[in-house]
C-alpha cells in the first residue's frame, strides 16, 4: 500500500493511507538519468555474506540477484531461477536456472556460481550472521548446466523465503576466489541491475547500470548516487533543495511539512518492522501474565501514535512484525486504566512495582516513548526508571538476563524474510538460541507451534500454526507490543516507479525519472 501525501495535508491521519496506484499512471517508463538518494545509513560491506545492517543490505540487493526474489507479493518470485519443483517429501528442490544471464563484468552466470553461493549460504562457519537461514540445507548439486538441486535435512517451511533474502545472492565463483573476501566486499561483481562505480566510505556509493542485466529494458536509470546523510533534518533539506530526489526515513514530525512541498511527496508504506517493550520473564513480577496485561492496558497507544508518530504507523496486535501469516483478527490491547488496575490487582504485584528499562541512548524517539510509558504506568503504581545506554552496551546488558525491561529503536527491528519463521524462532522459541529474545519466555506450546510451522510447506497448516502463535503470544508473552512501523520516504515528483518493499528495500530497477 502506498500513500501519496501531496495536497492531503488537511485530512486527518487516517487519510494518509488512502491507497493510490504506485506506478504506471505516468505512461511508459523512460530510460536514462541519474537518481540521487539521501540515505540515513551507509554500507559497511558489499559482500552478501557478512552484511547484517540495512546500510549494506539495501545496496547489496541492487548489485546482486538471487534465485527467487522478493517483490511486492507475499510469495518469492522467479528471478535467476525461472521455476522450481519440490519433491513430495518436501526435501528436494530443483531449480531451473535462467539461461544467458551474465555478471556485470560480462562473464556468464553458471550453475557452478549458484552452487558456490548457496554452499556458502549453507555453511554456518561462513554465514555467521544468518546461519539459521541456510541451516536446513544438507547438500547441493548441479544436475545440468541449468538445473540446480538442493537437498534439505528436513522440510523447511520458509525455504523459498530465505532464498529470496540478500544472503544467498549469486556471486561469480572464480572471481570471488581470486579476489578474496575483503577485496570482493569492496568492489563486488554481481548480476543485479546495477554495478558499483564508486564507493567513498562515509560519503556515497555510486551505482551504474549493469549493461548485461537480464530483465528486458531494465534498469531504466543510468546511474544512482546514494549519499549518506545521517542527520534527518539535513536529509529532508536535500530533497527540499532538489539536491536529492529521494530521502529515506522522514522524521515523523516532518511528514506534514515535507509532504506540503510542491515537488515532493512522502510515501508511507507498510514494512515488516515493529516496536515493543520487552520484559525479562525470569524475574518477578514479569513472570506473571497478569502484570504484562496490566501494562498493556495502561499504555495509551492511540495517543502515542498520534503525537509521536503523527499517525504514520499502526497499533500492533502482535509482539512481532506484521509478516506473511499475520492475523488481523487478533485484538490489540485497548487503553483502559480500569482494566489495567483490575489485572494488576489480580497479579502477584497488586500494589504495583518498580522497574528499570534499558533504552538506546541518543534516540530521541525512544526517549520520548519511554517517558510517556513512565508517566502513564505511574498511574497504575508502576514506577519506571529509564536507563539510556549506548547501542554497544544495550545488547550485552539485555542479553545478560539480569535486566527487567528493554526497548530497541523501532526502525531497528525488522524481518529480513517474507515469512514469520525467523522472527518466530528468535522471539518465541526458548530453545532457538537466545532464549526467546532473552526474555526467558519458555512456553512449550509456543515452541511446538514454531516447530510445526517450520516443518511443513503446507500453507494452510503454517498459517494456522502462526495464527495460534499470535494469539498465544498476545496473551502470555512478556512484552508490550506498541506499533507496526511504516517506511516514510520523501520522493520527488520526478521519480516514478519507486516503492518500498515489505522487507524495507527497493527494487530500483523499476524506477525511472520523468523529464
User: Cell numbers at residue 48, please?
Assistant: 552478501
Selected from 285, 300, 313, 502, the binder of other proteins by CB under 8 A is 300
Rounded Cα distance, 312 and 64, in Å: 32
Which of 105, 186, 187, 346 forms a contact with other proteins (CB under 8 A)?
186
Count of residues touching other proteins (by CB under 8 A): 84
The residue within the footprint of other proteins, chosen from 9, 303, 354, 475 (CB under 8 A), is 303
CB of 250 to other proteins, least distance (A): 11
- Find the DSSP H helices in 187-300: 232-240, 255-259, 289-297
Give the range of 214-222, 365-373, 443-451, 498-506 binding other proteins by CB under 8 A.
Answer: 365-373
Residue 335: CB partners within 8 Å, gap ≥ 6? 297, 298, 299, 300, 301, 302, 303
Q: Can residue 24 be called a binding residue for other proteins (CB under 8 A)?
A: no
Looking at 155-163, 269-277, 366-374, 453-461, which segment touches other proteins (CB under 8 A)? 366-374
Binding mask 163-182 for other proteins (x = CB under 8 A): ------------------xx
399 near other proteins, judged by CB under 8 A:
yes
| Neighbour count for residue 264 (Cβ, 10 Å) | 24
Residue 385 in contact with other proteins, rule: CB under 8 A: yes
Nearest Cα neighbor of 288 from 347, 341, 346 is 347
Residue of 175, 337, 388, 457 interacting with other proteins (CB under 8 A): 388
CB of 18 to other proteins, least distance (A): 23
376: left (phi over 0), alpha (psi -120 to 50) or beta: alpha
Segment lying near other proteins (by CB under 8 A), choices 70-78, 106-114, 300-308, 324-332: 300-308
Query: Cell match 501494562: residue?
Result: 295
**Rounded CA separation 291/277 (Å):** 13
Positions 416 through 445 that interact with other proteins (CB under 8 A): 416, 422, 426, 432-434, 437
Question: Quick check: 278 and 436 in contact, CB under 8 A?
Answer: no
Q: 26-55: which residues touch other proteins (CB under 8 A)?
A: 44-45, 47, 50, 52
Query: What are the cell numbers at 192?
Result: 543485479
Q: Sort strands 204-209 and 223-228 into parallel, antiparallel or unpaired.
A: antiparallel
Nearer to other proteins, 229 or 291 (CB): 229
For other proteins, the closer of residues 344 and 426 by Cβ is 426
Per-residue b/e over 455-488, b at no fewer than 16 CB within 10 Å?
Answer: bbeeeeebbbbbbbbbeebbebbbbbbbbbbbbb
Does residue 412 interact with other proteins by CB under 8 A? yes
Least distance in angstroms from the C-beta of 276 to other proteins = 12
Closest approach, Cβ 186 to other proteins, in A, equals 6
Which string of x and - marks every residue 254-293 that binds other proteins (by CB under 8 A)? x-xx------------------------------------
- What phi and psi values does residue 359 have, to the nearest 5 degrees? -130, 165
Shortest gap between Cβ of 45 and other proteins (angstroms)?
5
CA–CA gap between residue 345 and residue 336 (Å, rounded): 14
Closest CA to 210 of 114, 105, 110, 108: 105
Candidates 353, 355, 352; CA nearest to 387 is 355
- Smallest distance, Å, CB 370 to other proteins? 7
CA 143 to chain centroid, in Å, comes to 34
In this chain, which of 34, 77, 87, 234 binds other proteins, going by CB under 8 A?
A: 234
* Closest distance of CB 11 from other proteins, Å: 17
Answer yes or no: are the C-beta atoms of 240 and 258 closer than 8 Å.
Answer: yes
Which residues in 199-228 contact other proteins (CB under 8 A)? Answer: 200-204, 227-228
391 touching other proteins, by CB under 8 A: yes
CB closer to other proteins out of 46 and 221? 46
- Half-sphere CA count of 444, side-chain side, radius 13 A: 0
Amino acid at each position: 500500500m502506498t500513500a501519496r501525501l501531496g495536497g492531503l495535508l488537511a485530512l486527518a491521519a487516517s487519510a494518509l493511507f488512502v491507497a493510490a496506484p504506485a506506478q504506471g499512471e505516468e505512461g511508459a517508463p523512460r530510460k536514462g538519468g541519474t537518481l540521487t538518494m539521501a540515505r540515513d545509513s551507509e554500507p559497511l560491506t558489499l559482500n552478501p555474506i557478512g552484511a547484517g545492517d540495512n546500510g549494506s543490505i539495501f545496496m547489496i540487493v541492487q548489485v546482486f540477484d538471487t534465485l527467487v526474489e522478493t517483490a511486492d507479493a507475499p510469495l518469492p518470485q522467479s528471478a535467476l531461477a525461472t521455476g522450481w519443483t519440490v519433491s513430495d517429501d518436501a526435501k528436494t528442490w530443483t531449480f531451473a536456472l535462467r539461461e544467458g544471464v551474465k555478471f556485470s563484468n560480462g562473464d556468464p552466470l553458471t550453475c557452478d556460481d549458484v552452487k558456490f553461493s548457496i554452499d556458502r549460504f549453507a555453511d554456518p562457519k561462513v554465514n555467521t550472521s544468518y546461519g539459521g537461514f541456510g541451516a536446513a540445507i544438507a547438500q547441493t548439486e548441479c544436475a545440468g548446466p541449468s538445473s540446480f538441486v538442493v537437498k534439505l535435512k528436513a522440510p523447511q517451511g520458509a525455504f523459498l523465503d530465505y532464498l529470496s533474502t540478500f544472503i544467498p545472492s549469486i556471486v561469480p565463483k572464480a572471481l570471488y576466489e581470486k579476489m578474496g573476501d575483503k577485496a570482493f566486499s569492496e568492489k563486488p561483481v554481481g548480476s543485479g541491475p546495477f554495478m558499483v562505480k564508486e564507493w567513498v566510505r562515509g560519503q556515497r556509493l555510486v551505482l551504474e547500470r549493469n549493461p548485461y542485466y537480464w530483465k528486458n529494458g531494465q534498469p531504466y536509470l543510468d546511474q544512482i548516487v546514494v549519499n549518506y546523510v545521517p542527520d534527518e533534518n539535513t536529509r529532508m533539506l536535500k530533497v527540499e533543495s532538489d539536491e536529492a530526489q529521494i530521502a529515506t526515513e522522514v522524521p515523523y514530525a516532518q511528514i506534514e511539512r515535507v509532504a506540503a512541498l510542491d515537488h515532493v511527496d512522502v510515501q508511507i508504506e507498510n514494512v515488516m518492522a515493529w516496536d515493543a517493550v520487552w520484559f525479562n520473564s525470569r524475574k518477578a513480577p514479569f513472570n506473571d501474565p497478569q502484570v504484562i496485561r496490566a501494562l498493556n492496558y495502561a499504555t495509551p497507544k492511540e495517543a502515542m501514535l498520534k503525537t509521536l508518530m503523527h499517525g504514520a504507523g499502526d497499533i500492533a496486535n502482535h509482539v512481532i512484525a506484521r509478516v506473511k501469516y499475520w492475523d488481523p483478527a487478533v485484538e490489540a490491547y485497548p487503553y483502559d486504566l480500569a482494566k489495567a488496575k483490575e489485572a494488576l490487582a489480580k497479579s502477584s504485584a497488586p500494589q504495583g512495582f518498580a522497574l528499570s528499562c534499558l533504552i538506546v541512548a541518543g534516540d530521541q524517539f525512544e526517549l520520548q516513548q519511554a517517558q510517556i510509558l513512565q508517566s502513564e504506568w505511574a498511574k497504575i503504581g508502576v514506577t519506571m526508571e529509564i536507563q539510556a545506554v549506548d547501542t554497544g552496551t544495550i545488547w550485552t546488558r539485555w542479553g545478560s538476563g539480569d535486566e527487567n525491561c528493554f526497548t530497541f529503536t523501532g526502525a531497528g527491528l525488522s524481518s529480513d524474510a517474507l515469512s514469520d519463521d525467523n522472527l518466530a524462532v528468535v522471539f518465541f522459541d526458548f530453545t532457538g538460541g537466545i532464549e526467546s529474545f532473552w526474555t526467558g519466555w519458555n512456553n512449550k506450546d509456543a515452541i511446538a507451534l514454531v516447530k510445526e510451522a517450520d516443518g511443513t510447506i503446507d500453507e494452510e497448516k503454517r498459517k494456522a500454526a502462526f495464527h495460534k502463535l499470535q494469539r498465544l503470544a498476545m496473551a502470555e508473552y512478556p512484552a508490550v507490543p506498541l506499533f507496526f512501523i511504516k517506511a516514510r520516504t520523501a520522493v520527488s515528483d520526478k521519480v516514478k516507479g519507486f516503492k518500498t518493499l515489505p522487507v524495507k528495500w527497493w527494487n530500483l530497477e523499476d524506477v525511472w525519472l520523468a523529464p
